Amino acid sequence: MSKKNGDMKIKGKDYWRSLDQLADTPEFNNFLKREFPLGAAQFDNSWSRRKFLTLMGASLAMAGLASCRRPEEKIVPYVERPEEVIPGVPLYYATSMPFSDHAFGLVVESHEGRPTKIEGNKLHPSTLGASSAIIQAQTLSLFDPDRSKKVLKGQQEKSWNDFVLNWITAFEKFKENKGAGLSVLSGMFSSPTLSRLKKLFDKNFPKARWLTYEAVSDENIYSGTKAAFGKRYRPIYLFDKARVVLSLESDFLLTESDSIKNARGFAEARNVETEKDEMNRLYIVESGYSTTGANADHRQAFSSGDIGAFALNLANALNNLGVNVAGTSGQLVSDKKFKWLNELARDLAGAKGASLIVAGRRQPAAVHALAAAINDALGNIGKTVEYSEVSDTSSSDSAGLQSLVADMNSGSVSTLIMFGSNPVYDASSELGFAAAMAKVKTTIHFNDYTDETGQLTTWHVPKSHFLESWGDTRSYDGTTGLTQPLIRPLFGSVSESEMMGLLAEGKFTKGYDLVRQTWKNKNKGGNFESRWRKILHDGLEQKSAYKLQSPAVRNSVISKFLRDNPLTNSSGTSGMEIIFQSSPSLYDGRYATNGWLQELAHPISKLTWDNVAYLSNADAKSLGVKNSDVVKLELNGRSLELPVWIQPGQAKNSVVVELGYGRKGAFKVGDGVGGNVNLLKSSSTVGFATGLKVTKMNRTHALACTQDHWSMEGRAIVREATLKEYRQHPKFAEEAVKHKPLESIFDEHSYAEGYQWGMTVDLNSCVGCNACMIACQSENNIPIVGKEQVANGREMNWIRLDRYYSGDVEDPETVHQIILCQHCENAPCETVCPVNATMHDAEGLNVMVYNRCIGTRYCSNNCPYKVRRFNFFNYTKDYSEVEKMTQNPDVTVRFRGVMEKCTYCIQRISAAKIEAKNNGRKVVDGDITTACQQACPVDALTFGNINDAESRVSKKKKFNRDYALLSELNVKPRTTYLAKIRNPNSNIKKA
Amino acid sequence: MAQIFPKWTNYLGPGTALAAVLLISGGTWFFWFYASPSFTDVGYRPVQPVAYSHKLHAGDLGIDCRYCHTTVEFAAAANVPPTRTCMNCHTLVKQDSKKLQLVRDSWKDKKSLQWTRVHDLPDFAYFNHSVHINAGVGCISCHGNVAQMEVVEQKKMLSMGWCLECHRNPEPNLRPVSEVTNMDWVAPANQAEIGKLLRATKNINPPEDCSGCHR
Amino acid sequence: MADLAQTATKALKEPAHHERLITGEPSFEQVTNAVSRVVESKTPKAWWVLFGISSSATLLLLVAIAYLFWEGIGIWGLNVPVAWGLAIVNLVFWIGIGHAGTLISAVLFLLRQRWRTSINRFAEAMTIFAVICALIFPAIHVGRIWVVYYIFPIPNQMGVWPNFRSPLLWDVFAFGTYFTVSLLFWYVGLIPDLATLRERATNRIKKIVYGVLSLGWYGGNKQWKHYEMAYLILAAIATPLVLSVHSIVSMDFAVSLLPGWHTTIFPPYFVAGAIFSGFAMVMTLAILARAAFGLKDIFNMRVLERMNLIMLVTGSMVGYAYAMEFFIAWYSGNEYEMFAFVNRAFGPYAWAYWIMISCNVIVPQFFWSKKLRTNIAFMFIASILINVGMWFERFVIVVTLSRDYLPSAWGYYTPTFWDIAILIGSFGLFFSLFLLFLRFLPMVAMSEVKGVLPQADPHFAGNKQAHSQAVS
């Protein structure tokens, strides 16, 4: 290991040299010049940040001396301006992002050929115009200077041509022996072109093996539907139609597949405009505390291993109510007492055809089969859940990985191609993948980083980012779309389709041609060119979704399956249970190189830059540990040390750990962050395992949490009520704080004229998914500050997602609250600024003038919401030229010593106003969406002109749930909140 | 005891006070004058790589500003024309002129010409040309009579105070939109009325808030 | 309370004419000698040692400031919510220290408290140096030091003025006026003594330097007349400043809407606290100087005791203010306000709060005992404890920031090495300046002390002798 680290360091240094080399190529040179006419010095990566700051300080001082007269600036116009490009005016292109075995349809904002901001595609069913934190963070990943930049053989730099020639030789050889000894270990994909090429590969090499593996997958779900229906189906949930939802440890609002659409549907069914509206009810049983758990009306925590027993008991309870769940008669039933199981059963039985059981991907196939059977029995299939067969898709097969490794060890694999995968990191350590790989003669790694795997293979080929590639995708519901490049490959990489084309055909074809070929095959006849243009423009092909089916559960098959895979076996095994959860930010570790995501606070624990062992309070007590104490987790002879985090509401006797951390090939951002929990996994473990031994180590590991205090201290901050209470007291939110009418002794400024911007945040919709935070970071050039700074309370996010617990520490309720600048009409920050750097404008915005700010920080002290962020260091100055390309040119990049905060995306407001003015009209509702609002999957944020009675925001502000946070201070915030409503089952008594 | 200070030292006190007053007021004046954009920026006239004459093109030949600065009506920036625009004419006109060698090279090698920026606002000021043009602020108001300039130079201060002057009272600088690029347009005698009328009909309310330009 | 007030008034009453303010019955010449000797004698080793220590600490301050400019405010432990830290604590502390000097020299002068003559020069010097120390902090604590001039109302091309509603801008005027007036007041007071030193100077350099500084003073009647008028006017100007400066400092906090800050009691309470801490600092220094330079007759027990009584009074006022803050917080019924005060006493910074209470409220109460308030060792320790306590008072106020309205935004402030470095450094600067003062300027106002000697009374028996000595 240590040797590898050493190598990497050297590589780190190499990288800068290679950037210099790259910078010498005419294209790159031109590109940089066009973007950065002034240029800036390169710096050596081995310098510490401190040293760098020092140097920047020096150059600043020199700039001060030299700037008696301003510096000369160059204008470098195009030689020939591309027709559609207007300097300074962004363009928007539709594309799609492949992810797992599905994809997201997106629209990307491009400034002079430089993608700066990603939004969801309103036309695309996978995003409906919204997005997620991971999607938003892709621009940063694209411009990551740590990305792989060269073809490597061993540690030697080779050219792409070298690799092509090499492969062609191998190709001919394998063609002769039909691919014997050739194996591909691929990441998941869902793409007509990749699928077409894979078929070609299979045809050319019938004896070769193509295996797909990813650490996080819906494998169990497919196995479950196969057991229930006899066919591998993908469930597609229609949450908007479900009135009673039960989640069997499914975090369908955030970490499960298709979460954006799920969240949208769920929020729609939960939306109440008046106290007369109906809303859905969510029950959840889970071990760890998930985002979905935070949004539940009833949540019960118990080990993942007991979820199956719960489901079976539920089926029996339903059977007793006359709802006959197929395959469950005669199955063993756990004698465990589940708190509200009977009430749940009655609730479900009373909502036939409008209820929904969703099981999480960590649960074994039997639970999914049972969930399908219950849905069938309740008549939900075809109403709230539909099924489809997937095609053009390659899904994970973890059993196959075992046999591949066995073959590698036996020497029957002579060439192994790792296609977009990183098995050395994410295969279960029990398999000993790295050792097995060493026995393979030729290993080829194709990925976007020289990651753990790429450092050990014979060949490494850099993979293009999807924003640089031609490709196509099928989303979760099967809608096909095109991936079009927003920029030429920055680092001379090749796209997935190009690499697959080379592997399958033995010759290099441009991605564009490969994709067009696929689509031409599909669209025989008619005017292909115009259809192609339309699809390219829209980003998707209309009506291309998979055919939805409503299959029936096969009674005999499922009952046998349940007998063979008993669900009630968790008791009896000794030790604790360990649950492997995909990280809401880093997913399976592929985004560990992304600083935005690393610094993004975990939706529940609010931790950044680390993964931890989540323990229940009771377990922590019995182990004698507190937060940040390191424990050793031992499972089947393998061990890992992780710091402890006590998670209220965590199931007893179970430990949740998150994947994606402990990377060793994630370079300056991701290396050494957290621990790699794959080391504990065994090949049979998909979601959880028992027999874990936890021992306390005598050391601590500092953790950076963005919210230290968990209680609202009884203050009326997040105001919530049950639906029943709401109906009795429709104005409960406003009445939560009693004070006399607040009157000013001065004449108050009138805001009756012109545009008056305001916002509402619907706490009832907000699920706490963090999408807004990264959207804001991307739009507003918010820097990454690093773990040390976050730990010191200096995170820079302009929008934050507060999380409070209430109730019992073992079983708390959780609320989320988005806090951004409230744009107070009587803003306390403004009066105290000695230099007028923060002022009110005529449209009610609290504006911040960076260039005027001297940094007294008084405004931050005086802000009751503490939404102001201060540049304690010069966070933005050490960006390399490549990293600078992520910056939004419409927003000032802030320097050290200035205060900053949410501006309601004033750049978007200005653009819309100018656009309207130039066209001689007024800004109309919907012209302006703030970045957070646009990203929000559940439409929790509404922005607009509150002077316009017809605007959405005005209407929402008239809801009786509307309240202003800390209104008793009479600061008159323009951002108001709509209170949260829960809908608990009145037959269930609170503990 | 012997006197150590001669008699004239009695004048030291008042002398010092007077000197201090002079020094402070002199220093203030010095900075007021020499650090002001009217001294540092007005008259800035860098040598451009190609001796392009606005006087010839815009003045004598009467080419409209927007022939080259095409984006001025609908974008924030009034773009500097791509080499292509020059070559539209110069493939036929003055094909062999030595002065145009760089332009031809740029066209041939597909390498950009590098002009030196004359009118340069700081990066934290987000100026938008289109909205000013559409409001009827003439090019000449900020750039001076470019059509008479052999070499372009900065004529106005372009300081924040200068911008605000017009934002507070835009009427003297308004003209019909059709006359925006007309360098020879003369304000009519009743400009005060016309300005008021233009302002009212086009609903021109230039922002005086920080957010108008800074974000 | 009435008792306390009575005792205090009684103690502070103008001493009877026959009361000897200066013990030991020195002649005018003896006074001159005693004070001038300190300046004229060879520099003692102890001075070098002390100066070495304090100037090293000053160097630390310079290094800390240089590093601060280099790196940014981030080297301190500040964060959001606690965006102000030790820099502001030190600022308020030092400004407070300065108050005693102005009070002693100006207010007591106007109130004809003649016992102040022993300590006024000393205290005024302390004011100047404390204000210098204080003024460092507002300048360095801003994020962008190179544009700090935006805070001054200078006409500019941007057409932007500072914000006259901001207490920080009031500070600019308050501090500026305070420093200017204090400096003038001190300097005017120094002129006759500088002339004395000029006359006694043995080498030419000293003669010239003291000569220039004494502005041609020869002690003529006309000069004395102008001098006394100028001194009186300056005292009159300085007097309101005693109240205004710390009131305005307190408004930095009181004008905000933070629970624990937003309170009307701050101005009087800050002024009382400032005088309290200032007297404690004068006491600490006076005891040291008294021992080191043999000025026991001038800094005699009567003066020290009176100072202790002032500390008892102001300390009790401060204690009253603490209690009243708590009462008002409860009485207001405002949950944030109540929480802020309970949190001060029992929250994460309770340790600082209880240090403050012990040092500021409990310690001065011992001065009720005549035995203790005339005990040099006790008063020395007490004066130091009071200064510690008063520093912590400001610390407690500033870290109130750590917990305000939204619990999600709560934080904790831990000073870093560089925070501590500027604190130590500011003490270094203060003592360096003070040591230089002791070494090169008369630390007691000779002319004024002579004025309160019995000989200065025209009816004094040895009048003739006294007259001849006064000019020498």
Each domain of chain C, given as residue ranges in start order, spans 2-12+19-154+168-471
Check CB contact under 8 Å for B211 and A910. Answer: yes
> Is the pLDDT confidence value at C295 over 90?
no
> Is the pLDDT confidence value at B13 over 70?
yes
A194 Cβ contact partners less than 8 Å away, ≥ 6 residues apart:
A392, A394, A471, A496, A497, A500
* Among A709, B32, B147, A644, CA closest to C402: A709
Inside any domain, residue B134: yes
The answer to whether A135 and A104 have CB atoms below 8 angstroms apart is yes
> Is the pLDDT confidence value at A634 over 50?
yes
CA angle at A26 for the pair A24 and A27, rounded to the nearest 5°:
115
DSSP run (H or E) holding C446: helix C446-452
Round the average pLDDT of chain A to a whole number and report it: 86
A478 Cβ contact partners less than 8 Å away, ≥ 6 residues apart:
A388, A390, A391, A544, A545, A546
Amino acid A573 reads T
**How remote is the C-alpha of C289 from its chain's centroid?**
16
* Distance between CA atoms of residues C382 and C311, nearest Å: 10
Kindly list the residues from chain C whose CB atom is less than 8 angstroms away from the CB atom of residue A834: 151, 162-163, 166, 168-169, 172
Check CB contact under 8 Å for A861 and C81. Answer: yes
- DSSP classification of residue A376: H
> Is the pLDDT confidence value at A64 over 90?
no
Least confident interval from A238-252, A730-744, C106-120? C106-120
Which of A68-72, A87-91, A149-153 is the most confident on average? A149-153
CB atoms within 10 A of CB A216: 26
Q: What is the mean pLDDT of residues A233-252?
A: 94
Looking at residue A89, its pLDDT comes to 85
A87 Cβ contact partners less than 8 Å away, ≥ 6 residues apart:
A112, B71, B75, B77, B79
Written as six digits, the tokens of A35 are 């973007």
Inside any domain, residue B7: no
> Is the pLDDT confidence value at A28 over 80?
no
> Percent of chain A, pLDDT > 70?
91
> Is the pLDDT confidence value at A571 over 60?
no
Q: Which of B74, B106, B126 sits opposite A918 (nearest CB)?
A: B74
Place of tokens 């110069």: B90
**How remote is the C-alpha of C334 from its chain's centroid?**
35
Report the SS3 class of residue B170: coil
What does the pLDDT look like over C15-58, one tens digit per residue? Answer: 444 455 666 677 777 778 777 877 888 888 888 999 999 999 99
Q: What is the mean pLDDT of residues B112-134?
A: 89
Written as six digits, the tokens of A317 are 């309870």
Q: Which of B1, B5, B161 sits opposite C159 (nearest CB)?
A: B161
- DSSP classification of residue A234: E
Total domains in the fold of chain B: 1
Kindly list the residues from chain C whose CB atom is less than 8 angstroms away from the CB atom of residue A817: 408
Higher-confidence position of C298 and A120:
A120
Q: Which of B40, B114, B205 sits opposite A74 (nearest CB)?
A: B114
Check CB contact under 8 Å for B32 and C216. Answer: no
> Percent of chain B, pLDDT > 90?
23
Backbone angles phi, psi at C79, to 5 degrees: -160, -175
Inside any domain, residue B19: no
What does the pLDDT look like over B16-43, one tens digit per residue? Answer: 899 999 999 998 888 877 777 777 788 8
Amino acid B53 reads S
Q: Would you call A966 an interface residue with chain C, using a CB distance cutoff of 8 Å?
A: yes
Q: Which of A711, A792, A828 sits opposite C407 (nearest CB)?
A: A711
Higher-confidence position of A215 and A991:
A215
* Distance between CA atoms of residues A632 and A851, nearest Å: 50
Task: Give the minimum alpha-carbon distance from B32 to chain C in angstroms, rounded to a whole number.
Answer: 8
Written as six digits, the tokens of C372 are 């203790």
Strand-strand pairing, A281-286 and A244-248: parallel
Identify the band that residue A328 occupies on the pLDDT scale cut at 50, 70 and 90.
confident
Check CB contact under 8 Å for A828 and C257. Answer: yes
Strand-strand pairing, A607-608 and A576-581: unpaired
Identify the band that residue A598 occupies on the pLDDT scale cut at 50, 70 and 90.
very high
Check CB contact under 8 Å for A914 and B131. Answer: yes
Place of tokens 């030789």: A169
Task: Give the minimum alpha-carbon distance from B1 to chain A in angstroms, rounded to a whole number.
Answer: 53
Chain C, window 207-226: residues with a beta carbon less than 8 angstroms from a chain B beta carbon: 207-208, 211, 215-216
Q: DSSP assignment of C62-111, as one string? A: HHHHHHHHHH-GGGSS--SS----HHHHHHHHHHHHHHHHHIIIIIHHHT
Strand-strand pairing, A838-840 and A607-608: unpaired
Amino acid C207 reads K
Check CB contact under 8 Å for A864 and C141. Answer: no
Inside any domain, residue B102: no
Q: Would you call C155 an interface residue with chain B, using a CB distance cutoff of 8 Å?
A: yes
Check CB contact under 8 Å for A868 and C72. Answer: no
Higher-confidence position of A325 and A963:
A963
Q: Which of B75, B111, B210 sits opposite A87 (nearest CB)?
A: B75
Q: What is the mean pLDDT of residues C105-128?
A: 82
Check CB contact under 8 Å for C73 and A870. Answer: yes
Query: Residue C159: closest CA among chain B residues belongs to which residue?
Result: B161
Neighbours of chain C (3+ CB pairs under 8 A): A, B
CA count, 13 A, side-chain hemisphere, A259: 26
What does the pLDDT look like over C130-151, one tens digit per residue? Answer: 999 999 999 899 999 999 999 9
Looking at residue C459, its pLDDT comes to 67
CA angle at A721 for the pair A720 and A724, rounded to the nearest 5°:
165
> Is the pLDDT confidence value at A10 over 50?
no
The residues facing C154 across adjacent strands are: none
What does the pLDDT look like over A857-872, one tens digit per residue? Answer: 999 999 999 999 999 9
* Distance between CA atoms of residues C61 and C422, nearest Å: 5
Q: Per the omega criterion (within 30 degrees of 0), is the bond before C407 cis?
A: no
Kindly list the residues from chain B whose CB atom is less than 8 angstroms away from the CB atom of residue A918: 73-74, 130-131, 134
Task: Give the minimum alpha-carbon distance from A69 to chain B in angstroms, rounded to a whole number.
Answer: 7
Q: What is the mean pLDDT of residues A873-878?
A: 86
CA count, 13 A, side-chain hemisphere, C263: 26
Looking at residue C301, its pLDDT comes to 83
Written as six digits, the tokens of C178 are 């305070």
Round the average pLDDT of chain C to a whole number and report it: 86
> Is the pLDDT confidence value at A607 over 70?
yes
> Is the pLDDT confidence value at A766 over 50?
yes
Q: Which of A70, A75, A917 sits opposite B80 (nearest CB)?
A: A75
Check CB contact under 8 Å for B84 and A80. Answer: yes
Check CB contact under 8 Å for B160 and C208. Answer: no
**How remote is the C-alpha of C8 from its chain's centroid?**
21
Q: DSSP assignment of A520-554, as one string? A: HHHT-SS-HHHHHHHHHHHSS-TT-SPPPB-----
Instruction: Kindly give the residue spans of alpha helices, DSSP state H, lying in A771-814.
Output: 771-779, 787-791
Check CB contact under 8 Å for A74 and B79. Answer: no
Please give the domain boundaries of chain A with CATH numbers for all domains. Answer: 2-66 (no CATH), 81-218+397-540 (3.40.50.740), 234-388 (3.40.228.10), 572-705 (2.40.40.20), 720-745+757-982 (3.30.70.20)
> Is the pLDDT confidence value at A799 over 60?
yes
Q: Which of B10, B36, B37 sits opposite C216 (nearest CB)?
A: B10
As a whole number of Å, the CA-based R_g of chain B is: 25
* Distance between CA atoms of residues A590 and A609, nearest Å: 15
Task: Give the minimum alpha-carbon distance from A33 to chain B in angstroms, rounded to a whole number.
Answer: 10
Task: Give the minimum alpha-carbon distance from C467 to chain A in angstroms, rounded to a whole number.
Answer: 56
**Residue B158 lies in domain:** 54-80+115-204
What does the pLDDT look like over B126-149, one tens digit per residue? Answer: 999 999 999 999 999 999 999 999
Written as six digits, the tokens of A732 are 């409960």
> Is the pLDDT confidence value at A706 over 80?
yes
Inside any domain, residue B154: yes
DSSP run (H or E) holding A91: strand A91-99
Q: What is the mean pLDDT of residues A847-855?
A: 92
Higher-confidence position of C301 and A497:
A497
> Is the pLDDT confidence value at C4 over 70?
no
Check CB contact under 8 Å for B209 and A78. Answer: no
Task: Give the minimum alpha-carbon distance from A86 to chain C in angstroms, rounded to a whole number.
Answer: 31
Query: Angle at which helices B83-90 and B101-109 pack, to 10 degrees?
Result: 120
Looking at residue A327, its pLDDT comes to 77
> Is the pLDDT confidence value at C195 over 50?
yes
Q: Which of A70, A76, A840 sits opposite B112 (nearest CB)?
A: A76
Neighbours of chain B (3+ CB pairs under 8 A): A, C
Kindly list the residues from chain A whose CB atom is less than 8 angstroms away from the CB atom of residue B77: 87-88
Identify the band that residue A43 occupies on the pLDDT scale cut at 50, 70 and 90.
very low
CA distances A740 to A969, B119, C337, Å, are 11, 56, 18
Count B/C contacts: CB-CB distance under 8 Å. 27
Identify the band that residue A30 occupies on the pLDDT scale cut at 50, 70 and 90.
very low
Residue B104, burial from CB neighbour count under 10 angstroms (0-12, 13-18, 19+) = middle
Query: Residue A69: closest CA among chain B residues belongs to which residue?
Result: B40
